Structure 1
Amino acid sequence: PSHDREVGVADATQDTTRIDDVRIGAVRPLISPALLQDELPVEPTVQSLVERTRVDIGHILHGRDDRLVAVVGPCSIHDHDQALEYAHRLKAVADELREDLLIVMRVYFEKPRTTVGWKGYINDPRLDGSFRINEG
């Protein structure tokens, strides 16, 4: 997409990064949140689930629902298909235990405390060091 083009020599007329940042090989502008929301709208069923779950969590935290909230991982993901498989399996367990527990899957798409190595799915979604953040 046009929002993921690399800045090259032809773009360098007013670009001082060629002399200021000699270790930078490419500059890619980040997609705006508004554009991302437009390109990937939330389905109404997903929006409804999130809203309903937030209300349920509020009821539990304020003592109006005697279930426990269980927030479970994985900590971060690196494989989209495996994450969906995990979510489907967790959903089956959540349905089975729904009288006693409200199970919420929580996952990061980045590794916020990692200072070396792979930084997460958002930063490197292709797992190849290309850092296509707009794809993540």
Structure 2
Amino acid sequence: MYVLLLGLSLAACDNRFRQQIDQQFYLLDTQRGLLCLEQSTDCYPLSLVEPSFAEAIIARGYGLTGGAYSWSAAELQNLMLNPPDELYPIEPLAKGVYRLPPVFAVHSVWDVLANEHYQLYDRDDDRYGTPGISKPLQRRY
């Protein structure tokens, strides 16, 4: 019985965490070429898409079909600011800073950038189980 209650409590906690992430908007800083989580210090440079081989994840997130994709940081920024079929609204906040909603397409960009950063800079540091360095959690769901 206790195991069941513990499981239900953990599931409820996980759902609250997911809802919090769900509601956390992104900030696209076009002047600095960064995608950031709003009200957070977490940011990734869009240039991380250039060495990545995971552009297909972003393409699926934006509903793009067929072909192989390879974007520069400027092309990725343009895709995010001009999503196909007006996939989501874009809110300008300041010169060169835009607020993007927490939708699957933007989550997919975040995930690719976060994973690329991990692969390039953090993964080797974690080979001995260094506390505080772990593979980033995916935000796509």
TM range (shorter): under 0.3
The structure, 1 or 2, with the larger RCO (C-alpha pairs under 8 Å, 6+ apart) is 2
Q: TM-score, normalised by structure 2?
A: 0.21
* Structure (1 or 2) with the larger CA radius of gyration: 1
Structure in which a larger fraction of residues adopt helix = 2
